[in-house]
A and B are shown apart, each in its own frame.
Chain A
Amino acid sequence: DTAVSQTPKYLVTQMGNDKSIKCEQNLGHDTMYWYKQDSKKFLKIMFSYNNKELIINETVPNRFSPKSPDKAHLNLHINSLELGDSAVYFCASSLRGNIQYFGAGTRLSVL
């Protein structure tokens, strides 16, 4: 079984649309993360979340919102998509903020 799985793997959409990316981990971890990797491979943390605290990177537009139905899931909702949102988005999880396990990524293309 895949430890951290995210869907879809590819997402192509028009500007202005709203989309979601799902992430699930079966490792029993208490913290989950969303990262954005741009075309230059720079990996930027967007959110970290455990059952007590959501930490938001202040540079992330409020069009992006994480939603966690339970400890094993952290979905990413994006409203009013823009061209600059095109990137690869990675979900990750860890236990008490230690070693992170990453999903395979979702490549988002906004046309």
Chain B
Amino acid sequence: SQQGEEDPQALSIQEGENATMNCSYKTSINNLQWYRQNSGRGLVHLILIRSNEREKHSGRLRVTLDTSKKSSSLLITASRAADTASYFCATDRMGNQFYFGTGTSLTVIP
């Protein structure tokens, strides 16, 4: 299937540490997006990286994309307790269809 698959499924770190989560997908894409979901809430867009880009930064977030390996990583630096959430990658193929996975559940311990 097209869906993105996040790894690890769960990650627990101390406040101030960096968190890295990965996403793999199966077919060619136009772009890849990362979203955050707080418990009981809808998803919130974090960052979009296009297929011709290799790296993108937004505040404490750094996203990389390797289209040859069909993978992406999201790095959150200097994590805070408020970063505790599930993180999803989303890939598109036909422009109007986005495929998510099961997410990485991040817990940041104060």
List B residues 15-58 near A (Cβ within 8 Å): 33, 35, 37, 40-45, 48
List A residues 95-109 near B (Cβ within 8 Å): 96-105
User: Could you tell me the distance between the alpha carbons of A41 and B88 in the complex, rounded to whole angstroms?
Assistant: 10
| 8 Å CB contact of A98 from B35, B48, B100, B101 | B48
Q: Which of B92, B94, B98 has the most CB of A within 10 A?
A: B98
Q: Name the CB-closest residue of A to B104.
A: A41
User: Could you tell me the distance between the alpha carbons of A102 and B45 in the complex, rounded to whole angstroms?
Assistant: 9
* B-chain residues with CB within 8 Å of residue A31 when the two chains form the complex: 96
* B-chain residues with CB within 8 Å of residue A35 when the two chains form the complex: 100
| 8 Å CB contact of B96 from A40, A42, A55, A99 | A55
A48 lies within 8 A of B102 (CB) = no
User: Could you tell me the distance between the alpha carbons of A103 and B41 in the complex, rounded to whole angstroms?
Assistant: 8
Q: Is B84 an interface residue (CB 8 A)?
A: no
* A-chain residues with CB within 8 Å of residue B44 when the two chains form the complex: 102
Chain B interface, number of residues (Cβ within 8 angstroms): 25
User: Could you tell me the distance between the alpha carbons of A54 and B73 in the complex, rounded to whole angstroms?
Assistant: 32
* B-chain residues with CB within 8 Å of residue A90 when the two chains form the complex: 42-43
List A residues 53-111 near B (Cβ within 8 Å): 53, 55, 57, 90, 92, 96-105
Name the interface size band of chain A: 20 to 34
| 8 Å CB contact of B45 from A44, A100, A103, A104 | A100
* A-chain residues with CB within 8 Å of residue B42 when the two chains form the complex: 4, 90, 92, 102-105
| 8 Å CB contact of A100 from B37, B40, B98 | B98
B45 lies within 8 A of A45 (CB) = no
Q: Which of A31, A45, A57 has the most CB of B within 10 A?
A: A45
User: Could you tell me the distance between the alpha carbons of A43 and B104 in the complex, rounded to whole angstroms?
Assistant: 12
8 contacts between A and B (CB under 8 A): A40-B102, A41-B103, A43-B100, A90-B43, A92-B42, A96-B95, A99-B33, A100-B98
User: Nearest 5 pairs between A and B by C-beta?
Assistant: A102-B42, A43-B100, A97-B95, A48-B96, A102-B43
Question: Which residues of chain B have a CB within 8 Å of any CB of chain A?
Answer: 33, 35, 37, 40-45, 48, 86, 88, 90, 92, 94-103, 105
